[in-house]
């Protein structure tokens, strides 16, 4: 096999992987994997009826999912393969975000290909252009990061233990479906939470999930842009998980001052961001390749990824003391800032 033949085979394998994840995405957003888990084995027509989907589409999907190894088949009955079961969004440790991120990447690649011609950067609403993508985004983040946050990040931040012990208000700016606040409040009964998000769909999801978790009495959500969220009560802790880069290009100085002024005495801000590497060569490592693609996607939305050191510098310019905590082999950073007074 020549070098060109090997390259062709490599590209074809990548294309098959994309097709596999595309079929996986369809099964995730339409509840097909979860329905088939409950049925154990079913015909395509029975699966369609259970999931409330069109039978013709489900028949074609079942054949495709079988061809790519997401389903097993015996006669006219289909069941989940190990790969298909792993994509069920209702199981613990689901790999659903892999399929969701693949589809999000393809959508953002198409948008970037178009906008590159004009320089347009239309903003975050691009993520919600596809009716099946936007509602999945919060669940993707929750499935991807809850374990890291709950088991590693939160226990490693002294400010979390400090505020949990005395109680108080935690405000999440850009809260999405509220997963970070739910994770913080779950085992910390003295804390109250307030989440702001600019998308009504996210707020509706967050309220429903808080009610399901039995937290509605101490966890509220409100519509609010990151720039103009109004606090009736100053916060003991303000958190932003992977959201600061969404407001950075508008000017960090004024925003950092607003965060500082929204704190109670002794309060703190905790900013969690992917840490953009100073050495470009690190983008070639498998763990950080996604950063490079994400940064292109962020450009479409009017944003760019940040370095932890520049976030810390902006807080210091606002008169706050900072400490940087790094996780996941340096890929993720949390910057904790307190008033210097």
| Residue 282 Cα distances to 139, 151, 237, 324, 331, angstroms | 28, 26, 33, 20, 10
**Whether the Cβ atoms of residue 179 and residue 141 lie closer than 8 Å to each other:** yes
What is the C-alpha to C-alpha distance for residues 287 and 275, in angstroms, rounded to an integer? 12
Half-sphere exposure of 179 (CA within 13 A, CB side): 19
Contacts of 20 (CB under 8 A, 6+ apart): 68, 69, 70
Strands annotated E in 188-250: 191-197, 219-223, 235-241
Where helices occur in the chain by DSSP H, the ranges are 3-29, 32-39, 44-51, 55-67, 82-86, 96-115, 134-148, 154-156, 158-166, 179-186, 200-212, 252-261, 286-300, 308-317
Contacts of 317 (CB under 8 A, 6+ apart): 253, 256
CATH numbers and ranges of domains, the chain: 3-97 (1.10.10.10), 133-339 (3.40.50.150)
Give the residue among 63, 67, 65, 30 at the shortest CA–CA distance from 48.
30
Return the SS3 of 72: strand
**Whether the Cβ atoms of residue 245 and residue 304 lie closer than 8 Å to each other:** yes
Tens-binned pLDDT, residue by residue, of the chain (341 aa): 678 889 999 999 999 999 999 999 999 999 999 999 999 999 999 999 999 999 999 999 999 999 999 999 999 999 999 999 999 999 999 999 999 999 999 999 999 999 999 999 999 889 889 999 999 999 999 999 999 999 999 999 999 999 999 999 999 999 999 999 999 999 999 999 999 999 999 999 999 999 999 999 999 999 987 777 778 899 999 999 999 999 999 899 999 999 999 999 999 999 999 999 999 999 999 989 999 999 999 999 999 999 999 999 999 999 999 999 999 999 999 999 998 65
| Residue 34 Cα distances to 54, 91, 94, 139, angstroms | 17, 9, 11, 15
Q: Which two tokens stand for residue 48?
A: 């369609």
pLDDT at 1: 67
Is the pTM above the cut of 0.85? yes
What is the C-alpha to C-alpha distance for residues 319 and 133, in angstroms, rounded to an integer? 40
């Amino acid at each position: 096999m020549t070098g060109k033949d090997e390259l062709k085979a490599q590209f074809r394998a990548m294309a098959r992987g994309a097709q596999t994840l595309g079929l996986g995405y369809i099964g995730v957003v339409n509840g097909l994997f979860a329905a088939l888990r409950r049925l154990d084995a079913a015909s395509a027509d029975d699966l369609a009826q259970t999931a409330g989907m069109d039978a013709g589409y489900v028949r074609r999907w079942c054949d495709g999912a079988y061809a790519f190894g997401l389903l097993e088949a015996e006669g006219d009955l289909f069941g989940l393969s190990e790969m298909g079961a792993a994509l069920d969004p209702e199981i613990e440790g689901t790999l659903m975000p892999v399929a969701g991120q693949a589809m999000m990447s393809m959508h953002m690649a198409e948008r970037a290909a178009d906008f590159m011609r004009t320089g347009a950067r239309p903003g975050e609403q691009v993520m919600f252009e596809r009716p099946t993508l936007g509602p999945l985004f919060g669940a993707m983040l929750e499935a991807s990061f809850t374990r890291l946050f709950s088991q590693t990040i939160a226990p490693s931040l002294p400010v979390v233990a400090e505020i949990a012990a005395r109680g108080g208000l935690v405000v999440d700016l850009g809260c999405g479906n509220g997963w970070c606040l739910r994770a913080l409040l779950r085992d910390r009964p003295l804390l109250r939470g307030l989440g702001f998000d600019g998308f009504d769909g996210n707020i509706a999801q967050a309220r429903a999930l808080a009610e399901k978790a039995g937290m509605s009495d101490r966890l509220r959500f409100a519509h609010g842009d990151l720039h103009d969220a109004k606090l009736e009560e100053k916060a003991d802790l303000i958190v932003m998980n992977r959201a600061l880069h969404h407001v950075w290009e508008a000017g960090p100085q004024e925003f950092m001052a607003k965060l500082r002024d929204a704190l109670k005495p002794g309060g703190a801000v905790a900013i969690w961001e992917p840490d953009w590497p100073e050495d470009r060569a690190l983008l070639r490592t498998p763990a950080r390749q996604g950063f490079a693609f994400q940064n292109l996607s962020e450009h479409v939305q009017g944003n760019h990824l940040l370095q932890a050191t520049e976030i810390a510098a902006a807080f210091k310019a606002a008169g706050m003391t900072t400490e940087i905590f790094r996780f996941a082999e340096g890929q993720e950073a949390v910057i904790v800032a307190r008033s210097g007074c």
